[in-house]
Chain A
Amino acid sequence: MPKSKLGEDVYKKADKVNAELFVLTYGSIVAQLCKEMPYDQVNAELEKMGENIGVRLIEEFLAKTECERCQDFRETAETISKIGFKMFLNYMPVITSWSEDGKTFVLNLDENPLAEFVELPLEARGILWYSNIYSGIIKGALRMVQIEVNTRFIKDILRGDDHTELSVSFVRVIDDEVPPGDE
């Protein structure tokens, strides 16, 4: 079954909730963080929250889609964009470019629902990555399937750029390690 169809099917069967409630809840979380700490720490905090979500989200993903292990990083990228995003957010970001060595891809998140109704204050524009929770979610989820990646936003419409782009780069495959202290 093509990936996009799988993503759509899983989404159709899921219970739904109004997108605006979701988006406004996220906005409230970011607003609270911005009140508590400076913008660069907010980025780190959002990524941490995203990682916590990602490690649990991957289980639901695997349970609902019964996907097999991806053969290579390209397949991983397609799975994330066509199935992962679609089944949770009903939205498929486009993979816009690959690096030459095939280890980094860029997701275009122009229609990102989280950025709806949002305008960043001027002092935040150079620093805050509003949707940074996505970088954490992808990182956390892939870590649970033994892939270590680095994720970061490179552009954001809310900051005045022309597109919203998230870059994901492959670092290494995590081997099963004996936990420290066990022998």
Chain B
Amino acid sequence: MQPNGKPMFKSSVSASSQSSLPIRGRNICDQNLNKIKNSDVSLSAFAFLFSELIQRTQSRVTGIQDFEERLNEHGFRVGQRLVELVVWRERSPKRETRVLGILQFIHSSLWKQLFGKHADSLEKSKDVNDEYMIVDNSPVFNKFISVPKNMNQLNCCAYLAGIVEGFLTSAQFPCKATAHTVPLPSYPSRTVILVKLHSSVLRREEYLG
């Protein structure tokens, strides 16, 4: 279990090796990992799926906090898996152990993999030294979602924050990530992902010098 209580996904390999029956069909370890690396689907397909996810979550939650937490959980699962995939694809010879390093990796490589472009900016909070902000000027998640007035603190980019949180937590940087809309005149759906690192990360950062 991670510090924020979210369980890591169970590896399927250990479960299957306990069975005495041979596994029929294709073995996931034989699959090519880059098969759909450069493929796209239409934005509307994704928008339909995401809206279905939102609708389903909406009917099962008690409030905006709960809603964002559930979206965060969904994103967390995606982020956990992206760590391995994106890092493997980058083929970098070293593992990121510093906060700035991993955040820059997210800002450039992860965003590039998911959205085809770098994130728009990466900032460190001036007042609090465990907070960092990743900014996206036009996140694809908010494009087709209209939030009713009585829920206007809801930001569906909580899903994206979950991806970042899952990514960082699985890379051994436990944290909490939340999404906030900070619109600019030219970018009405500009979203800031606020990353609050766990104190253990800061202690480790100090220890590393």
Contacts and interface: CB of A to CB of B under 8 A. Distances in A.
Interface of A: 11, 14-29, 31-32, 49, 52-53, 56-57, 60, 87-90, 113, 116-119, 121-122, 157-162
Contacts of B116: 18
B49 A14 contact: no
Interface residues of B, number: 43
A31 B77 contact: yes
Contacts, number: 121
Best-surrounded residue of A18, A60, A89 (most CB of chain B within 10 A) = A18
Interface string B46-74: 10111011011000000000000000011
B40 interface: yes
Nearest to B55: A52
Contacts of B48: 53, 56-57
Given A28-B78, A31-B77, A21 B16 contact: no
B95 interface: no
Contact of B78 (A15, A24, A52, A87): A24
Nearest to B82: A24
A25 B50 contact: yes
A90 B46 contact: no
A121 B116 CA distance: 32
B47 to A, nearest CB: 8
Contacts of A15: 42-44
Contact of A18 (B49, B50, B74, B115): B115
B151 interface: no
B140 interface: yes
A27 B75 CA distance: 11
A88 B41 contact: yes
Q: Closest 3 CB pairs between A and B?
A: A160-B24, A160-B25, A16-B40
A27 B76 CA distance: 12
B204 interface: no
A152 to B, nearest CB: 19
Contact of B36 (A11, A87, A113, A161): A113
B41 A16 contact: yes
B35 interface: yes
A116 B41 contact: no
A19 B34 CA distance: 11
B42 A23 contact: no
A89 B44 CA distance: 10
Interface string B1-42: 000000000001001100100011110100101011101111
